[in-house]
Amino acid sequence: MTAVPIRDHEPAALRVRRMSGQVGWAVLAWVVAIAFFLPVLWMVLTAFKPESAAQTWPPKFIFSPTLAQFRLVFSGWGPYVTHSLIATTISTVLVLALGVPAAYALSVHPVPRWRDGLFFFISTKMLPIVAAIGPLYVLALHAHLLDSIWLLIILYTAMNLPLAIWLIRSFMLEVPREMLEAAELDGAGRLREMTEVILPVISPGLVSTALICVIFAWNELFLALNLTVTNAATLPMFLISSVPQEGLYLAHLSAAATVASIPVIIVGWIAQRSLVRGLSMGAIK
């Protein structure tokens, strides 16, 4: 005999109350989602408009689409996207290469005063970047690194490293102590312990950390704007160029922004399972 679902016994008054509660939350969720999504939708739609149609208020939802803006974007974005790609990938690789040993020294085999080290890393994020831009400019000037892609790589690495160390450390803390002891008993030295046990176990966490670093580096504007001109200009600066002194090229800006967001959206979509798993893995600690 199959079980009868309990809802069939529910008295009518209770059911009305329950369902209206559910409907209420559903409506609220949709309203919030649409409120957040509308600007994005507007941006994507505007990307297909000619410049004249883009400036109207209220925004037109019915128009004859054109690819002219996209053509402009693709013809102009070449060096910018290259610089963004280089700066993002190399800085992320460096962040992982430096962050993993640092996190290891702060979690699995903690060094003395590890708490101080951890706090120091996080404290660097407490300084508003605006306050540091002056000294950074001077330092870059003297090091002949202004408008150099290497400057961005160094700065993006430094920018993402504290967060990466914090995240990777929390993943490493999740590795069961007994597993590490078993590896120690099996004769694995520090290096083997890392490569054979720790890294494979935390690999989803490493992927999600890398993705977060990619997102931050890809979208970074302030440093790029102030410390580069042409030789290292990144994609966000290309977006800014749609807003010159003379006017506001909204359609061009929308097209450029749409194109600039796509790589990150695709990467995030592909790795969304790993992202959720990685982020929730370290969530409790």
Partner 1 sequence: MAQVKYVSASRVYAKDAPPAVDTLDLDIKDGEFMVLVGPSGSGKTTALRMLAGLEPLDGGRVEIGDKDVTFVPPKDRDIAMVFQNYALYPNKTVAENMGFALKMQGVPKDERGRRVREAARLLDLDDKLLDRKPKALSGGQRQRVAMGRAIVREPKVFLMDEPLSNLDAKLRVQTRSQIAELQRRLGITTVYVTHDQVEAMTMGHRVAVLAGGHLQQCDTPRQLYDNPVNQFVAGFIGSPAMNLQKVPLADGGARLAGTVFPLPAAVRSAASRAGLSELVIGIRPEHLHLANGSGVRGGSGARGGSGARDSSGALAGEVTLVEELGADALLHVRLAGSGDLIVARTEGRRTPAPGQQVTFRVQPDDVFAFHPETGARLAG
CA angle 66, 70, 76 (to 5 degrees): 145
Smallest gap from residue 112 Cβ to partner 1 (A)? 16
Pick from 196, 248, 262, 265 the residue near partner 1 by CB under 8 A.
196
Q: Which two tokens stand for residue 258?
A: 């749409």
Cβ neighbours of 176 (radius 10 Å) = 9
Binding window for partner 1 (CB under 8 A); candidates: 120-128, 132-140, 192-200, 219-227: 192-200
Binding window for partner 1 (CB under 8 A); candidates: 10-18, 113-121, 176-184, 223-231: 176-184
Pick from 132, 136, 201, 240 the residue near partner 1 by CB under 8 A.
201
Print the binding letters for residues 85-124 with partner 1: x by CB under 8 A, - otherwise.
----------------------------------------
Yes or no: say if 224 and 234 are a contact pair by the CB < 8 Å rule.
Answer: yes
Our finding on whether 213 is near partner 1 (CB under 8 A) is no
Our finding on whether 195 is near partner 1 (CB under 8 A) is no
Print the binding letters for residues 128-167 with partner 1: x by CB under 8 A, - otherwise.
----------------------------------------
Type of residue found at 253: L
Pick from 60, 65, 181, 262 the residue near partner 1 by CB under 8 A.
181
Smallest gap from residue 178 Cβ to partner 1 (A)? 4
Smallest gap from residue 158 Cβ to partner 1 (A)? 32
In angstroms, the Cα distances linking 36 to 29, 30, 40, 227 are: 11, 10, 8, 32
Our finding on whether 179 is near partner 1 (CB under 8 A) is yes
Instruction: Give the C-alpha separation, 240 to 260, whole Å.
Output: 12
Pick from 182, 221, 248, 270 the residue near partner 1 by CB under 8 A.
182
Binding window for partner 1 (CB under 8 A); candidates: 125-133, 183-191, 229-237, 265-273: 183-191
Q: Which two tokens stand for residue 105?
A: 């020294």
Yes or no: say if 109 and 120 are a contact pair by the CB < 8 Å rule.
Answer: no
Please give the full DSSP string across 244-263, using - where no structure is assigned: -TT---HHHHHHHHHHHHHH
CA 139 to chain centre: 27
Our finding on whether 184 is near partner 1 (CB under 8 A) is yes
Instruction: Give the C-alpha separation, 230 to 227, whole Å.
Output: 10
CA angle 126, 132, 137 (to 5 degrees): 155
Our finding on whether 187 is near partner 1 (CB under 8 A) is yes
Could you tell me what percentage of the chain is helix, strand and coil, using 3-state DSSP and rounding each to the nearest 5? 75, 0, 25
Which residue ranges make up the site for partner 1 (CB under 8 A)? 176, 178-179, 181-188, 192, 196-197, 200-201
